Amino acid sequence: MITYPESFDGQFLIGAEPLPHRPDARTHRLQTLHLQAIGTLPVLKVSDRDGRPLGALLGYPVDYRKGAVLTGDVRLDEALGSTEEVEAFVERHIYGLGGSFVFVLDCHGLRRLYLDADGSMSAVYDPERQLCAATAGLLLDPDAYDRRFERELYEFLDVRRDGWFPAGLTAHRGISRVLCNHYLDLQGGKQHRHWPLAQISITADPDDACRRITRTVAQTVQALRNAGPIAFALTAGNETRLILAACREMSADLEFVTISGVETRLDAVRAKELADRFGLQHRLLPIRMADDAAAEQWHARAGHCIGGPNMRSFPTIASLTDLSFYIGGLGGEIGRGFFWRPTDTENTVLSAHDIAVRFGMPLHDRVVAAVEDWMKSVCGFDVFLQLDLAYLELRMGCWAFAQAYSTPHVKHIHPLISREAFTAMLSLPPEWRRSNRMITRGIELAWPELLDMPINRYGDHRDYTRLVGRALRNPHLIVRKLRKRFG
């Protein structure tokens, strides 16, 4: 029998009918919906300027312009007059926030669930019962969890080793994942795209777009600092270097941590060099591995939708539970053409197969079909925006954040994730996104000396030995990279 989660701390369950009692949950009644928040998950009731209840925010929304993590009930400064105004209203007020959250709309006869800009608090749903939850375990009892488990697809995608369920698929029959940039209609049980609804215009001032990104990051970090102690992941990679640059003015007062192990040796070396040169408070976190039982529970808390190294190494960050927030670098890939190939041009015509193969996993007909269904929502967008939205919606939201609830006592926030930052990234000229120019120019504008040290490489003979060693340890990764790159 497949392992069932022992804990749902930090998760939620939403439905129109009264929900079964749970001793570990707080139950909230909205206008027509019942909402259960389990364990430590915050619930903030939301109303408009006139005091009309609109719904609730779950999680950790950040009003970065005001320098605050929202913690109490929220009263917006505008009235919502009719259903015709809902989309623009939600875009202005809810997607003006950063952080990690879910918004439940329950007003004017509408029942909807919206994810944050990258779906960093993920959600799944059962359309037949019109129930939505953080993970499938809250929708299914242990017998149904085992009976509806998609064993064939799970094995085909090699989820336990390092696979995952893309494009809204999950490990359980009849359960789908909500895609970011789509809202879930809790009455009809269907998803609808709410952003973007038209091609995003290319900016005439890329430097201004880069400044908007780093400014938003700095404001978000300051808001998190105001809420309590934080620590940053510092690696040899692109995004953590950009975040460090954005936080230049406060860097001496921040704490940085780096995971130290065989696969992260470059990260540890480069992070220490950065810390020594620029006077950063830095410490290494030695790799700690979970035993079999703990790893299985991590996997179960992710709904069995993702496996891989984090399934074993997650105890490494257990020492960070005393922090208010742990700051990560996810999200910046949206501005650097992660799914692009050298042969892609503005005249490239994409098929569902073309996109699915870029996931890097073996192709399955159900995956291709799910991508094909998604492609109906991006008709009329240019090929580059289609690829970037595919990465954001079908990969990032499904891969990175299927594990959002697996380590519930460490609260992750990624300050590059916000509607403002993503809009700026997607407005950059194609040549910038293809060449990683957003990262390098953003750093040049904020803290150019950080580029004195190479990103994601040693810059000497060690780069060769590192690649050879990694290929010998994980030969399947070479196959995956080739599949992503060339099909």
Q: In Å, how far are 20, 23, 65, 128, 191 from 33, measured between CA atoms?
A: 14, 19, 31, 16, 18
- 84 contacts 91 by C-beta, under 8 angstroms: no
Could you report the per-residue pLDDT of 104-154, keeping only the tens digit for each?
999 999 999 999 999 999 999 999 999 999 999 999 999 999 999 999 999
Q: Is residue 253 part of a domain?
A: yes
Q: Is the peptide bond before 196 cis (omega within 30 degrees of 0)?
A: yes
Work out the pLDDT band at 412, boundaries 50, 70, 90.
Answer: very high
- What CATH number should be reported for the domain holding residue 111? 3.60.20
Say whether both 172 and 217 belong to one domain.
no
Q: Is residue 128 part of a domain?
A: yes
Average pLDDT score over residue span 298-311: 96
Average pLDDT score over residue span 394-409: 94
Last-in-domain residue among 193, 214, 238: 193
The domain tally of the chain equals 2
Average pLDDT score over residue span 10-35: 96
Q: What is the per-residue pLDDT for 404?
A: 96
Work out the pLDDT band at 81, boundaries 50, 70, 90.
Answer: confident
Last-in-domain residue among 193, 215, 249: 193
Last-in-domain residue among 169, 193, 217: 193
Say whether both 23 and 151 belong to one domain.
yes
Say whether both 89 and 216 belong to one domain.
no
Side by side, the strands of the sheet bearing 25-29 are 25-29, 34-38, 12-15, 131-133, 124-126, 176-177
Instruction: Report yes or no on whether pTM surpasses 0.85.
Output: yes
| Residue 484: pLDDT over 60 | no
Say whether both 404 and 445 belong to one domain.
yes
- 149 contacts 172 by C-beta, under 8 angstroms: yes
Q: In Å, how far are 247, 276, 450, 458 from 236, measured between CA atoms?
A: 17, 14, 11, 9
Interatomic CA distance for residues 162 and 18, integer angstroms: 38
Q: What is the per-residue pLDDT for 481?
A: 59
Could you report the per-residue pLDDT of 265-291, keeping only the tens digit for each?
899 999 999 999 999 999 999 999 999
Q: Is residue 80 part of a domain?
A: yes
Q: Is residue 377 part of a domain?
A: no
Say whether both 117 and 153 belong to one domain.
yes
Work out the pLDDT band at 163, boundaries 50, 70, 90.
Answer: very high
| Residue 80: pLDDT over 70 | yes
Q: Is residue 44 part of a domain?
A: yes
Average pLDDT score over residue span 342-352: 94
- The 3-state secondary structure of 48-102 reads CCCCCEEEEEEEEEEECCCCEECCCCEECCCCCCCHHHHHHHHHHHCCCCEEEEE
Interatomic CA distance for residues 357 and 390, integer angstroms: 12
Interatomic CA distance for residues 87 and 83, integer angstroms: 8
Work out the pLDDT band at 446, boundaries 50, 70, 90.
Answer: very high
**CB-count exposure of residue 66 (10 Å: 0-12, 13-18, 19+):** exposed
Say whether both 300 and 413 belong to one domain.
yes
- 236 contacts 456 by C-beta, under 8 angstroms: yes
Tokens (6 digits) for 167: 């494009």
Q: What is the per-residue pLDDT for 460?
A: 80
Average pLDDT score over residue span 317-321: 89
> What is the domain extent for residue 26?
12-193
Average pLDDT score over residue span 393-400: 94
Q: Is residue 49 part of a domain?
A: yes
β-strand pairing of 325-327 with 230-233: parallel
Average pLDDT score over residue span 429-454: 97
Q: Is residue 32 part of a domain?
A: yes
Say whether both 474 and 446 belong to one domain.
yes
Say whether both 42 and 98 belong to one domain.
yes
- 45 contacts 206 by C-beta, under 8 angstroms: no
Say whether both 48 and 20 belong to one domain.
yes
Say whether both 263 and 303 belong to one domain.
yes
- What CATH number should be reported for the domain holding residue 273? 3.40.50.620
Say whether both 172 and 211 belong to one domain.
no
| Residue 257, CA atoms < 13 Å, CB-side half-sphere | 17
Interatomic CA distance for residues 234 and 214, integer angstroms: 16
Q: What is the mean pLDDT of the chain?
A: 94
Query: What value does the CA radius of gyration of the chain take, rounded to a whole number of Å?
Result: 22
262 vs 472, residue with greater confidence = 262
**Percentage of the chain modeled with pLDDT above 90:** 90
118 vs 484, residue with greater confidence = 118
Using DSSP's 3-state secondary structure scheme, residue 224 falls into helix
Q: What is the per-residue pLDDT for 449?
A: 98
| Residue 422: pLDDT over 80 | yes
Q: Is residue 341 part of a domain?
A: no
Say whether both 87 and 225 belong to one domain.
no
